[in-house]
Amino acid sequence: MKSKEPRIKLSGNSFKAVAESATDSIFVADENSTILYCNKKALELFGYQEEEIIGESLTILMPERYRKAHFKGIKRFLSSGEPKWIGKTIEITALHKNKTEFPIELSLSAWKEEEKYLFAGIIRDITKNYNIMKEMGILQTISTAISKADSFNNALSLTIKLICQEGGWSCGEAWVLNRAKHMIEYAPVWYMSEEKFLPLFEVSKQATFRVGEGMTGSVFLNKTVWNPDITAHDSNFKRKEIAKQVGLKSVLGVPIVTHEGEVFTSLMFYLSESKEEDTIFTRIVTSLAIQLGTFLEKKQIEERLKQSRDFYITILEDFPALIWRTNVDGIPEYYNKTWLKFSGNCLEDELKKDWSTSIPKEDFDRLTNAFQNASKDKSTFEVEIRMKRYDGEYRWILSLGRPFYDIDKNFKGYLGVSYDITDQKRNIAKLNKSYIELQQTTEELLSTEEMLHKLNFELEKKVEDRTKDLNEKNDTLLKINTDLDNFIYTASHDLKAPIANIEGLTTMLDDVTSDPTFRNKEVISLIEMIKTSISKLKNTIMDLTEISKIQRMEKDDIAPQNLSEIIEDVKVLFFDQIKKSNAEIRLNLDDCPVIEFSKKDLRSIVMNLLSNAIKYRSERRPEVLIKCYQKDQYAILSVTDNGIGIDLKHAKLFKMFKRFNTETEGTGIGLYIIKRIIDDAGGKIEVESEVGKGSTFSVYFKHQ
């Protein structure tokens, strides 16, 4: 609350005249900290009008954190009279009308009027000095930090981090100039105060700029750039969309230049709020960039030199040859790891070594002469010598030396490389020996070749005679086979008529014996036996005819066949046998591929397999499974029964007229026919059987 008479009563106008003309701000307050007077400079410094501040408490000029301590200090002074700050000058933070804080220098004095204390304060704005000190502090902090960095990127990373932390920036990044590509590329260093800014750096990693392009490229024109809102529509910031997404507004771009004035790196700093240029901070960073440029350039050069040195040292150390170097006087001063491994010594011992103890005298003299002659005119030399290895073995060494010079073309000694050529020399000796042996062998081969020509001629004559003899025998066999085929065909054909006549006669006899008056049972029994024999003979003749046709290759045209239809036709043919035996026939043809085959031959195979499955049955009801499926390059037809089975250990399957059960009617040529048909077609047949349990016949049809 304002006091009733806030203004101070001064003696005359002398105090006012002095105070109003002062360059510092002056305040006068009473024991209650009520402001009684302030000069024009104070009003300008704190941003108030006179009527706004006179009668108010001094605490409006200080941050809230200081107010409690202020009242406590006034109370202590009034009660004890012992001053703590009276008569002294202190640095403290003041509060502007717009609520911003700034540093001041404060001098306090106190005196009594009418038994009441009055206090006067002289205030000086030290913002400029403070900023200078702060600038120096930041520069010193950053310079100290980056001086300890072990690489260019680490120094750059520390710089960005410290500037952001000291200046309160949200995040920062660096860009470098790729001179080879003439493009600005993202440096792998950045700092962020919050994880939410990470997407900016992810986008930046993929971005490149030309010098002068956008805000980032403009910095490489050696310009310091400030933009209060990079997300604005007219902003030339190329990454404005991602900046808007993560919540960034202001940006400061500062170039870092070489000692020649060329920009090689730029630093970009971002704020989450839109802010007009902070000239003080810009000056700090710009000033820092000048120092940083020199330092970073030096770091970069040192790093490149170190990498180059390490690269060549690594090459020399691990090079698979013996590397050495001398000084200008020809005294050795370096051997690589390969050399030390050869000698078995450490570098210190090797440098002290007396070489005449490791090299035979004649070779040592030759090496010394070659080196001395080359040293006269600083020329190269090459010499072969023997040198003792760590295990005591003398090895042949080819040593080559050449002079080397420093950057100012001063002779610095000899640099050489030596190769262990012992194995090569041994190999050459072996090759020479082998060459002599080869010549001898060649002569022997020429002699042998002549003999082989003679033997070959004799062999060819014998082969020719043998071939002629085989051809004649083959022709004879073909003729015999043809005659046999013709005989079988003719015999089977010619026998059909007599058998038909006999069959007719037995029919006539049936008419006689069927008469009720005919009582001779022996004749009737004989006639039945004749009829049975005729039936067997007819079946044999039919089988012989079938064999003849197979051997004559009398086949239908090969074509895709419907296996299901063929099986049904055969089932109709065997209707009586199936019904009489009460056989169960099951089909599994769902996975059956197309079978390209002779229809007649396929029908013959199915007939013989199904006939055998029913014929050679046990006391059980016949159960037959006909299955068709594909395996590899074959279509497989399998017929499985539960019949009497076959003893495969003693059975010779697929032989003509071979039967395995004499109690059942048959000619024994069914399996022979199947085997002959499937062999001629490039397929095969397999059998699995167990006596008393049944058999499975699998026929493999090869795909056409």
**How many other C-beta atoms lie within 10 A of the C-beta of residue 479?**
10
Instruction: Please name the residue ranges forming H helices in 221-360.
Output: 240-246, 279-318, 337-343, 347-351
The CA-atom distances, in angstroms, between 161 and each of 225, 283, 292 are: 19, 18, 14
334-374 tens-digit pLDDT: 888 888 899 888 888 888 888 888 899 999 999 999 999 99
Torsion angle in degrees (nearest 10) through CA of 325, 328, 333, 339: 20
pLDDT value of position 444: 82
The answer, yes or no, to whether residue 101 has pLDDT greater than 80, is: yes
The answer, yes or no, to whether residue 629 has pLDDT greater than 50, is: yes
pLDDT value of position 5: 46
Residue ranges covered by each domain of the chain: 14-125, 131-308, 319-420, 556-702
Give the integer Cα–Cα distance in Å for 701 and 560. Answer: 12
Confidence of residue 170 (pLDDT cuts 50, 70, 90): very high
Instruction: Over range 470-477, report the average pLDDT.
Output: 78
Determine contact, residues 601/555, Cβ cutoff 8 Å: yes
pLDDT value of position 313: 65
pLDDT value of position 624: 93
The dotted CATH code for 131-308 is 3.30.450.40
The answer, yes or no, to whether residue 192 has pLDDT greater than 90, is: yes
Mean pLDDT, all residues of the chain:
82
pLDDT value of position 679: 85
pLDDT value of position 437: 83
Question: Which tokens sit at 99?
Answer: 């609520």
CATH of 14-125, one of 3.30.450.20, 3.40.1160.10, 3.40.50.10440, 3.30.70.980: 3.30.450.20
Q: What letter represents residue 1's amino acid? A: M
pLDDT value of position 2: 47
The answer, yes or no, to whether residue 156 has pLDDT greater than 50, is: yes
Place of tokens 């919540």: 247
The answer, yes or no, to whether residue 480 has pLDDT greater than 80, is: no
Q: Which residues contact 343 (CB under 8 A, 6 or more apart)?
A: 335, 350, 353, 358, 389, 390
pLDDT value of position 239: 92
Q: Does 14-125 match 131-308 in CATH topology?
A: yes
The answer, yes or no, to whether residue 640 has pLDDT greater than 50, is: yes
Instruction: Over range 419-442, report the average pLDDT.
Output: 86
The dotted CATH code for 556-702 is 3.30.565.10
Give percent of the chain above pLDDT 70: 81
pLDDT value of position 535: 67
Residue 648 DSSP symbol: T
The CA-atom distances, in angstroms, between 128 and each of 105, 133, 134, 135, 276 are: 12, 9, 10, 10, 19
The CA-atom distances, in angstroms, between 313 and each of 152, 309, 316, 322 are: 22, 6, 5, 14
Give the integer Cα–Cα distance in Å for 121 and 29. Answer: 8
Give percent of the chain above pLDDT 90: 26
Residue 209: beta bridge partners? 184
Instruction: Over range 671-692, report the average pLDDT.
Output: 86
252-292 tens-digit pLDDT: 998 988 777 788 888 999 999 988 887 767 777 777 776 66
Taking alpha carbons only, the member of 258, 240, 260, 259 closest to residue 250 is 240
Cα Rg of the chain, angstroms: 59
Taking alpha carbons only, the member of 234, 233, 254, 246 closest to residue 201 is 246
pLDDT value of position 12: 43
Give the integer Cα–Cα distance in Å for 683 and 30. Answer: 126
- Higher pLDDT among residues 81 and 641, named by residue: 641
577-607 tens-digit pLDDT: 888 889 999 999 999 999 999 888 888 899 8
pLDDT value of position 494: 62
Taking alpha carbons only, the member of 82, 682, 688, 465 closest to residue 700 is 682
The answer, yes or no, to whether residue 393 has pLDDT greater than 80, is: yes
The dotted CATH code for 319-420 is 3.30.450.20
pLDDT value of position 604: 87
Question: Which tokens sit at 186?
Answer: 């993202």
